[in-house]
Amino acid sequence: MSPPSDDALRHTAHPGEIVGVSEDVWMEVIDKMDQVYSDLLQYEVALEQKNAKLEESQQFILSVLTSMSDIMLVCDRHGIIQDANRSLEAFCGRGVDALRGTSLFELFVDPLAAEEARRRLFGQGAKEVHDCELPLRARDGSAVPVSLNCTPRFNAVGKSLGMVMTGRPVGELRRAYQALHEAHEDLKRTQQQLLHAEKMASLGRLVAGVAHELNNPISFVLGNVHALQRYAGRLAGYLGTIHRGADAEEVEAARRSLRIDRILDDLPSLIEGTIEGAERTRAIVDGLKRFSAMDRDEVEDFDLVEVVERAVRWVCKTAREDFRVELALPPRIALRGSPGRIQQVVTNLIENARDAASAGEAPPTLRISASLDAGRVRMCFDDNGPGVPAEILGRIFDPFFTTKPVGKGTGLGLSISYGIVERHGGTLAAENRPEGGARLVLTLPEA
């Protein structure tokens, strides 16, 4: 085909029109360009937003890494360091740029440690390693044992990329442990002191009770002995008259003036009273001896009823006059264990009931009852106090928990009792009775 002639061209081309392209086509091209341009603008805005987000999250990660006190590094599968945090820089005295691209094994103090690290950290494939203690070289060249943790890193399709290693100088852990240990020791010492204070306080209460109890027989023994002394003087005078060989009339006169017949009438009751007083004193001392056996954990067969009665006697000596204890117990409850320890438990339960019940208007009363069932004794201590407030019911067995004023209670009574009862194979629990007042329930295996 021949090319169009100049004439033909001139004929079809209007001004502003390229030959062979219509105006419509041009409009279409311009439209498309507009659209592309606006798409580009949109992409740019989205890109900028994404960039800002990326930067933000990078900042966040950086701030986390920087503020981490543990050392941390990221390495590839061959142990070549890809990144490290500020703590590692500070620890080894090299900047992160200097660290990047070097082998992580250079961080260890000597080739032996590096070899050990290679075996333990890389020896088992992509596995986590925890608390692996190895020496790293600190910035001053010294060897510092570090507890290392390694976690493998994977890409999106699960291919191993290397790992993340974190570590904490063991010295720091040891220091923290040491501080904890010291605090614990301090606490134990304080607890011992408080235990001692509790012992002294119960000793004080005991001594007060004993003093009160001894006072009575001793004072009447003393009174009797004074009377006997006076009588002895008069009898000596009378016998003197007889021995002098005085006549019957004189002797009779002396007998009347010295009131010898009255002395003879009085003597048996005086002597009896003195013996009784001395015996009561001995009984008290016996009781004391048994009480002092409390510190010994001797295992023996004993009667719980006897222990309860003894404890009631002791507590009542220091209680309000109107404190009443009702006992509803079988004649004998045979147990095996330490009677001294069980007495300590019962004494504290009675003391607690006395303290609680004394707070109310009504005369303080405690009822102790026991039932035997399937080889176990169940003993209830029911008082007419206000009961244990629900919010502290779960805490009264805690050591040092007390609602009593300073100097009145240590809060050790129930916690020590709980331990004693547990060692005897029993249980101790507290509840509130629907009719009011607290009930402490003690169960123990029968002998």
Ligand X SMILES: Nc1ncnc2c1ncn2[C@@H]1O[C@H](COP(=O)(O)OP(=O)(O)OP(=O)(O)O)[C@@H](O)[C@H]1O
Which residues contribute to the site for ligand X (CB under 6 A)?
198, 348, 352-353, 356, 383, 385, 388, 396, 401-404, 409-415, 438
The nearer residue to ligand X, 134 or 366, going by C-beta atoms, is 366
> Least separation, in Å, of the C-beta of 337 and ligand X?
20
Rounded CA separation 352/418 (Å): 14
Instruction: At 262, list the tokens.
Output: 């009255």
The nearer residue to Mg ion, 274 or 348, going by C-beta atoms, is 348
- Going by their DSSP bridges, the two strands 143-154 and 334-337 should be labelled as unpaired
The nearer residue to ligand X, 204 or 240, going by C-beta atoms, is 204
Rounded CA separation 89/340 (Å): 65
- Whether residue 314 contacts residue 349, with contact meaning beta carbons closer than 8 Å, is answered with no
Pseudo-torsion of CA 46, 48, 53, 56, nearest 10°? -170
Residue 279: Cβ within 10 Å count: 11
> Least separation, in Å, of the C-beta of 445 and ligand X?
23
| Residues 211, 215, 220: CA angle, nearest 5 degrees | 165
> Least separation, in Å, of the C-beta of 363 and ligand X?
16
The nearer residue to ligand X, 144 or 396, going by C-beta atoms, is 396
The nearer residue to Mg ion, 166 or 352, going by C-beta atoms, is 352
Which among ligand X, Mg ion, none contacts residue 303 (Cβ within 5 to 8 A by kind)? Answer: none
**Strand partners of residue 430:** 440
> Least separation, in Å, of the C-beta of 412 and ligand X?
5
Site for Mg ion contains 410 (CB under 5 A): no
Which among Mg ion, ligand X, none contacts residue 356 (Cβ within 5 to 8 A by kind)? Answer: ligand X
Rounded CA separation 20/317 (Å): 129
> Least separation, in Å, of the C-beta of 295 and Mg ion?
18
The nearer residue to ligand X, 72 or 307, going by C-beta atoms, is 307
Residue closest to ligand X when measured from CB atoms: 413
The nearer residue to ligand X, 91 or 323, going by C-beta atoms, is 323
From the list 381, 392, 390, 387, the residue with the least C-alpha distance to 433 is 387
Which among Mg ion, ligand X, none contacts residue 410 (Cβ within 5 to 8 A by kind)? Answer: ligand X
Which among ligand X, Mg ion, none contacts residue 385 (Cβ within 5 to 8 A by kind)? Answer: ligand X
What is the Cβ-side half-sphere exposure of residue 255, based on CA atoms within 13 angstroms?
Answer: 10
- Going by their DSSP bridges, the two strands 300-303 and 334-337 should be labelled as antiparallel
From the list 113, 115, 116, 120, the residue with the least C-alpha distance to 138 is 113
Which among ligand X, Mg ion, none contacts residue 401 (Cβ within 5 to 8 A by kind)? Answer: ligand X
- Whether residue 86 contacts residue 66, with contact meaning beta carbons closer than 8 Å, is answered with yes
The nearer residue to ligand X, 287 or 360, going by C-beta atoms, is 360
From the list 161, 61, 174, 167, the residue with the least C-alpha distance to 107 is 167
Task: Indicate the angle between helix axes 260-292 and 170-243, nearest 10 degrees.
Answer: 170
Q: Which of 413, 418, 437, 438 binds Mg ion (CB under 5 A)?
A: 413
Instruction: At 364, list the tokens.
Output: 């303080």
The nearer residue to ligand X, 12 or 193, going by C-beta atoms, is 193
Rounded CA separation 367/365 (Å): 7
> Least separation, in Å, of the C-beta of 195 and ligand X?
10
Rg (CA), the chain: 49
Residue 239: Cβ within 10 Å count: 12
Which among ligand X, Mg ion, none contacts residue 88 (Cβ within 5 to 8 A by kind)? Answer: none
> Least separation, in Å, of the C-beta of 384 and ligand X?
10
Which among Mg ion, ligand X, none contacts residue 89 (Cβ within 5 to 8 A by kind)? Answer: none
The CA–CA distances, whole Å, from 149 to 125, 130, 131 equal 15, 5, 6
- Going by their DSSP bridges, the two strands 324-328 and 365-373 should be labelled as parallel
Residue closest to Mg ion when measured from CB atoms: 413
Which among ligand X, Mg ion, none contacts residue 438 (Cβ within 5 to 8 A by kind)? Answer: ligand X
> Least separation, in Å, of the C-beta of 349 and ligand X?
7
Site string for Mg ion, 338-367 (x = CB under 5 A): ----------x---x---------------
The nearer residue to ligand X, 156 or 359, going by C-beta atoms, is 359
> Least separation, in Å, of the C-beta of 348 and Mg ion?
5
Residues that bind Mg ion (CB under 5 A): 348, 352, 413
